Structure 1
Amino acid sequence: MIQALRRLWPGASPEAPAREAVAGAWDFHCHLLPAVDDGLRSLEETQRAIAGLRALGYRGAVLTPHIYPGVYNNTPDRLREAFRQLQQAVDDNFTLRLAAEYFADETLLADINREDVLYLELGSQKIVLVEFPTLMPTPAGMDVLLQLRRAGYQPVLAHVERYRYMQLEQALWLPRLERSGAWLQCDIGSLVGQYGPHPQAFARALLDQELPTLWGTDLHRVAQLERYVAPGLTVLAKSGHRINGILEELAA
């Protein structure tokens, strides 16, 4: 395994705790589906990224390409077709599942009403990943989480540690999110400063409180694996966390 990592990243030697933390686990939230958003740009890049994830110990990944009208004009049908083509081109030893990363706006509220939402099936649950604006809250945000719950979905709030207003008003936002029933997802790289000191401090505070249900690579580029994901996994391992155990049903 170490040799595989060194072939991908010359000179790299991730610590054993990183591999132990993730061994056999699933990544939740990554942009491996090539050429559909701001994530990996080609099949070759995606294949390299999958090799890197496998070398770190991952057994599979839940792909979450953006659906963000006016920015990434993806539809569930278009993403399913791109996913079908990707599955035909990758190694069966790494399992992929498809979901999406929705921007919380009125368009998503309409999609919920039309029952046209791309979700991850997990047992009897229908998991939907949602992102909020980074700098300022949107009036639609909490409505989206509540409407998803009422419609029978399990909302997951993406990279919660990166929202500036939540960093500044944790005592307001964390109880509000708990009441919504949303799960919290954090980016592993945030633990080691990928997005700066404020998300790092918030991610570590959330980890100390054992609040995130899911941890994701939020992988957009292969280089993130060596620079941020491997050291972030070491932080998780030292905290005693076994990441994303809730996704183990996907192996069935």
Structure 2
Amino acid sequence: MWLFRKKQTLAESGFFRGFVDWHSHILPGVDDGVETLEEALQILAAYEQFGVKDVWLTPHIMEDIPNTTARLRERFAELQAAYPGNITLHLAAENMLDNLFEERLAKNDLLPMGDNGDHLLIETSYFNPPMGLQNILMRIKTKGYYPILAHPERYVYMEEAEYHRLKAMGVKFQLNLPSLAKMYTADAGKKAGWLLKNGLYDFVGSDLHRLTIWEEKVFSKQIPENTLRMLRDIPATHSPE
């Protein structure tokens, strides 16, 4: 996909000045992401140097990682108290569409995102959709939330027709930047390129779990200007100045 002749790294491009990271695992000690408060502060300091403006902390909530709303809010308060910088931190969650999610949705025990608190970041298994996926999405909408599908390019079972069907239902899509850097699989990179070129993404996130991996495979990745333009055209990429 990256065939444009003039290239620069994402870090050099200035793309991260004013950037809003809509998906990260920087909240420490709650899932498979950042483990310590010190590591979280180190990442946020690096983000400041690049000019990142807002970060949504979206820890996993799933049957295998049954985080409670109370616990995540407590950990978030600890990070806010320890962080001296100027990045605006927000708490939400990445919700696996499993039985635990169904229970939490019924109780309205959720951590939504967005300016109005009416969006939910969701995910499924990479290999198989949950039974009745479209019905689950409709129940989310009935509760007054807009579903944001995290990293749609990574789902092996999804093809072009499925993406268009979900968009027609009002599902929004969140791109993982590492997908463009081919950090996952060649298929995920190819799908990310197609989704980006067709204007199907609404949000961009890092899905950052470890800073060292990101520095090596994302910040330093060369990117052509046409891809950069398409990224900047995604509506919620940057905060208003």
If the TM-score is normalised by the length of the shorter chain, which range does it land in?
Answer: 0.7 to 0.9
Q: Please say if 1:120 is aligned against 2:108.
A: no
- In structure 2, what is the equivalent of residue 216 of structure 1? 205
Pairwise CA distance, 1:58? 0.8
- Which residue does 1:20 correspond to in 2? 14
Which residue in the other structure is 1:132 paired with? 124
Aligned to 2:97: 104
Partner of 2:138: 146
Aligned to 1:46: 40
Q: What TM-score, normalized by structure 2, do the two folds share?
A: 0.88
> Could you tell me how far 1:92 is from its partner in structure 2?
3.3
User: What is the one-letter code of the residue matched to 1:145?
Assistant: L
| Shift in CA distance, 233/73, structure 1 to aligned 2, threshold 3 Å | farther
Aligned-pair CA distance for 1:231: 4.5
Higher alpha-carbon deviation: 235-244 or 131-140: 235-244
Q: Does 1:206 align with 2:198?
A: no
The question of whether the paired residues in 2 share the 8 Å contact of 1:21 and 1:237 is answered with no
Percent identity of equivalent pairs = 33
Q: 1:236 to 1:32 in 2, by over 3 A?
A: farther
TM-score (norm 1): 0.84
8 Å Cα contact 2:112-2:120 kept in structure 1: yes
Deviation string 1:142-197 (CA, Å, 9 cap, x unpaired) is: 3332211111011100110000011xx322x1122113211001110110110010
In 2, the alpha carbon distance for the partners of 1:17 and 1:92 equals: 20
Residue equivalent to 2:170: 181
1:65-103 deviation digits (Å, cap 9, x = unpaired): 00012x111011110111001100012311100000010
> Structure 1 residues 141 and 18, CA, compared in 2 at 3 Å: closer, same or farther?
farther
For the residue of structure 1 that corresponds to 2:118, the secondary structure is strand
Q: Assess if the C-alpha contact under 8 Å between 2:10 and 2:220 holds in 1.
A: no
1:8 corresponds to? none
Deviation, structure 1 residue 235: 5.0
Instruction: Identify the match of residue 165 of structure 1 among 157, 163, 169.
Output: 157
Aligned partner of residue 25 in structure 2, secondary structure: coil
Separation in 1 of the partners of 2:221 and 2:10?
12
**Matched position secondary structure for 1:142:** helix
TM superposition shift of 1:133: 0.5
Query: Match for 2:15: what amino acid?
Result: A
More displaced stretch, 145-154 vs 213-222: 145-154
Give 1:49-68 correspondences, 5 Å limit: 49-68=43-62
Q: Does 1:225 align with 2:214?
A: yes
Counterpart of 2:67 in structure 1: which amino acid?
A: N
Q: In the alignment, which residue of structure 1 is the partner of 2:4?
A: none
- Unaligned segments of structure 1, at least 5 residues: 1-13
* Matched-pair contact (CA < 8 Å) for 1:215–1:243: no
Label 1:179 to 1:233 Cα distance change in 2 as closer, same or farther (>3 A): farther
- Runs of 4+ in structure 1 displaced over 6 angstroms? none
What amino acid is the match of 2:141? R
Q: Larger deviation: 176-185 or 37-46?
A: 176-185
Partner residue, 2:25: 31
